[in-house]
Structure formats: C-alpha cells, structure tokens
C-alpha cells in the first residue's frame, strides 16, 4: 500500500448498511487527489471494484461526481478519471475580521464562485449579522433554483473570545462585549434554516490550507495565519486537529518577550495591527492595507522593518512548536499580498539558521497557498466536510 494518508487511516467496508461511510471515503479520496480512475479508487480505499462501481453510479446519479474524458494508455481499455462535480454541493462561508468581513459561496471543488466584502471600524454584532443576512440572500440568488437546494450550510470563522478583542470605551464597549452572549446558530435561524458551523477563524484558515492548499504535501504541519492578529492551526496524521474545545493550535497565545524583557504573547509581536499602528503614527491611513486588490508598494518603508521583526518572532515560535511535536513543516500565510508572504517566509528561513536548535530537528518552512481568503474558504469548507467527507480523527477507534 502506498503513502496515501486516507488509505492508511481508513479502510473501506464492503458490508451492506455502511454505504454512507464508503461514499465519504471515496469522496475524500477524490477531494484529495482531484481525478482518480475507478480502479485506482478501489486500490486506495480497499473496497472491491464492484462496490466502487456501485457507489460511483449512485454518486453520479446524485450529481456529486462526474466522469472525465477517457485517457488511452499503450494497452488495454481507456482509463476514465472520476472527479468531484463542482455543482454537486455548495456552502457559504463568513469570516469575521477586525476591520472587515468576507462572505463567499464555495462550490464542491473548493472554488469561490462569488464573494462579498464589508468594512467597519469594529465588528459590532448587529452589523455583522445584517451583512450575513443580506449577503446570504444575495449569494443564493446567483444560483439556479436546482443548485440552491444543494447548499449544505453556513460556516462562520470567528476569533476566539471575540468579545475581548477591542479597546473601546463606554457604551460602545458594552455593545462589543455582547458578543459573549451571542448564539450564532440562533442568530442565523432568524433568516435561514441552513445548518450553521462555527470555527475559530485561524483554524478555519488551516482547514482551507489542508483541503485546498499544501495539505497533500505534508502529513503533519503547524500553520501560522497572520491577520490583524496572528493565529494558527495544526494538522496531524493528515487532518486538522481542533482539540477538545476547538482551540488547538492557538499559536498567537505562545509566550515571547518584549524589548525590555517583559512577558508578551506572539499576538503582541507578530501581527498586522503592529503595522497598522506604525502607519497611524506616520500620519498614514491604515485602510491602505486592506484595499482590494492589495498593493503595499507605497508602504514598503514601513512594511520592510515589520517583516524583519515578524520573521524573527516566527522563527523562535517555530522551534518552540517543534519541541512539542516534531512537525514536518511550518506553513505561513496571511492577509497580505503574495510577495509579502514570500519575503516573510524567506526571512524566517534565514533566521532559523542561527537559532539555538539543540535537541531539535529544524522544520522546513513553506508558504501557504490559499492567501487572504483562507479564513472564509475554510469556514465554508465546514458544512461540506461535515456532510460529505471523512473525519479521520473521529473515526480512528472504529477501524
């Protein structure tokens, strides 16, 4: 058996009554490998060829998979690749950010069909849910009636303990602290009967990278996502691990030290709000950072020192993470232009060379590939994952 993680972790079951498991297994292999012939699906899943053929017919009838053009080899019958049908399922993803919110419609193949964006000074609950309500209606309206029935849920990526995430005074602070009592499911139920899945925003970004980015490249990795504040996630044994309370990989809370030796967290020393602060101090409008499309060329005088300081912090944090779990790789992504990401990663690699690595194996440091949309895409992947794909962590004990 080859190195495919899905195969190693979950074997197929041929007995009757377990079609849902086997369907999820096949859909998960297709999601991971994009196009796979039926014979290869049988090999990877451990299911018999007749079982695979039957499941594929059912999935094709349900509009979840489609057959590609035959590929002729040197001998034998042509091979017909099977792939997920992008129109087979849809989901909606909301990212709640410090300066703005993004809402998008994701198809079964992981492509964002349509996206909406709003900005605000602070993410007040009434404004966020108003944007979500009008946005969901607008996004659904872009789909034909038949496809609207294939929308399987709404995923929401939001910072952990959002109600602590402000520096507001007086009544505004009270309004913001009301996030603590917000029930996302109940709020969405006022205008939609779609299932709701809530996840930490950085964990959502890690899900996006795992499903649609570098997830095939590494069995285990730690993931940094740098937005207004830095967060992260971890992938173990080929799947994202969320932890008992959904807060695993809270890398922004890692301890570090300030310039005077004071105790700080990584969130205080390696986040984009530090760059925002510098722009404000220089008399510049920090909204320049968030304009779309992103172009930070005019900000290079302030971005360059930010990259250097952030890279140093990420290099130290990367080794601290690997002292707990021997991660194969550290992936870094964020809400910044691709060229900033490339430079930041290259700088982290350089700083790692001179770090004290006694007792440690230095990980490879790589760029993430999903980019600024990672949190919204990851949030949208939640309903699709829950409805159609295999949760390898949840099912290990049953095999």
**What CATH number is associated with residue 162?**
3.30.420.40
Residue 341: the pLDDT is: 97
61 found inside a domain: yes
Examine residue 393 and state whether it is found in any structural domain, yes or no: no
User: Is residue 398 included in any domain, yes or no?
Assistant: no
| pLDDT value of residue 394 | 41
Residues 233 and 357 in one domain: yes
| Residue 75 pLDDT | 62
The domain boundary residue, chosen from 30, 54, 84: 84
Same domain for 291 and 383, yes or no, is no
**Residues 364 and 381 reside in one and the same domain:** no
- Please indicate, yes or no, whether residues 362 and 230 belong to a single structural domain of this protein: yes
pLDDT of residue 10: 41
Query: CA nearest 204: which of 158, 143, 245?
Result: 158
Domain-terminating residue out of 84, 103, 125: 84
pLDDT at 66: 95
Together in a domain, 256 and 334: yes
Same domain, 231 and 357: yes
User: Looking at 84, 118, 136, which one is the last position of a domain?
Assistant: 84
> What local confidence, expressed as pLDDT, does residue 30 receive?
95
Q: Would you say residue 272 lies in a domain?
A: yes
Q: Is residue 118 part of a domain?
A: yes
Please give the residue range of the domain that contains residue 172.
Answer: 89-203+376-388
Same domain, 73 and 96: no
pTM of the predicted model as reported, rounded to 2 decimal places: 0.89
The verdict on residue 142 lying in a domain is yes
- Pick from 398, 372, 313, 327: which is nearest to 100 by CA? 372
Give long-range contacts, CB 8 A cutoff, 24+ apart: 16-21: 19/55, 19/58, 21/390
What's the rounded Cα separation, in Å, for the pair 225 and 372? 9
**Is residue 190 domain-resident?**
yes
Residue 46 is assigned to a structural domain of this protein? yes
CATH number at residue 19: 1.10.10.10
Closest CA to 168 of 224, 98, 228, 238: 98
Per-position pLDDT tens, the chain of length 399: 334 433 333 445 444 444 589 999 999 999 999 999 999 999 999 999 999 999 999 999 999 999 988 777 656 677 889 999 999 999 999 999 888 899 999 999 999 999 999 988 888 889 999 999 999 999 999 999 999 999 999 999 998 877 776 666 677 677 778 888 889 999 999 999 999 999 999 999 999 999 999 988 998 999 999 998 999 999 998 889 998 888 889 999 999 987 788 899 999 999 999 999 999 999 999 988 988 888 999 999 999 999 999 999 999 999 999 999 999 999 999 999 999 999 999 999 999 998 999 999 889 999 999 999 999 999 999 999 999 998 754 432 222
If asked whether residues 48 and 98 sit together in one domain, one would say no
Distance CA 96, CA 103 (A): 9
Instruction: Note whether 220 and 362 are same-domain residues.
Output: yes
> Do 101 and 73 belong together in one domain?
no
The burial of 190, by beta-carbon neighbours within 10 Å (0-12 exposed, 13-18 middle, 19 or more buried), is given as exposed
Provide the domain count of the chain. Answer: 3
Q: Say yes or no: 239 and 350 in one domain.
A: yes
| Predicted pLDDT of residue 293 | 85
Please count the residues of the chain.
399
Does one domain contain both 71 and 100?
no
């Amino acid at each position: 058996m080859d190195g495919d993680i899905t195969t190693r972790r979950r074997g197929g079951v041929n007995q009757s009554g377990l079609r849902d498991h086997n369907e999820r297994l096949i859909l998960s292999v297709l999601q991971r490998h994009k196009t796979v012939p039926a014979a290869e699906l049988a090999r990877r899943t451990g299911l018999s060829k007749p079982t695979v053929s039957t499941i594929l017919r059912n999935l094709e009838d349900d509009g979840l998979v489609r057959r590609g053009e035959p590929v002729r080899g040197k001998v034998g019958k042509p091979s017909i690749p099977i792939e997920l049908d992008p129109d087979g399922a849809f989901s909606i993803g909301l990212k709640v950010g410090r300066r703005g919110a993004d809402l998008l419609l994701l198809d079964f193949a992981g492509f964002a069909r349509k996206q909406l964006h709003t900005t605000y000074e602070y993410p007040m609950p009434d404004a966020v849910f108003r944007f979500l309500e009008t946005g969901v209606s607008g996004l659904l309206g872009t789909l034909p009636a038949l496809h609207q029935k294939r929308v399987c849920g709404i995923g929401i990526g939001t910072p952990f303990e959002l109600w602590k995430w402000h520096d507001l005074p007086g009544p505004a602070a009270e309004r913001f602290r009301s996030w603590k009592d917000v029930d996302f499911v109940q709020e969405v139920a006022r205008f939609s009967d779609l299932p709701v899945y809530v996840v930490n925003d950085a964990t959502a970004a890690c899900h996006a990278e795992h499903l649609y980015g570098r997830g095939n490249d590494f069995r285990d990795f730690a993931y940094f996502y740098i937005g207004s504040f830095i967060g992260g996630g971890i992938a173990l044994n080929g799947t994202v691990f969320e932890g008992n309370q959904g807060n695993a990989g809270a890398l922004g809370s890692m301890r570090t030290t300030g310039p005077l030796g004071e105790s700080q967290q990584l969130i205080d020393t390696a986040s984009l709000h530090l760059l925002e602060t510098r722009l404000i101090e220089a008399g510049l409008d920090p909204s320049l950072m968030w304009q779309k499309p992103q172009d930070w060329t005019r900000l290079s005088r302030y971005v360059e020192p930010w990259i250097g300081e952030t890279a140093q912090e990420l290099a130290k944090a990367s080794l601290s993470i690997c002292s707990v779990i021997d991660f194969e790789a550290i992936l870094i992504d964020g809400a910044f232009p691709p060229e900033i990401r490339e430079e930041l990663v290259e700088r982290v690699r350089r700083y790692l060379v001179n770090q004290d690595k006694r007792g440690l194996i230095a990980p490879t440091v790589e760029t993430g590939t999903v980019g600024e949309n990672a949190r919204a895409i990851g949030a949208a992947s939640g309903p699709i994952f829950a409805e159609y794909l295999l949760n390898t962590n949840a099912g290990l004990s049953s095999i």
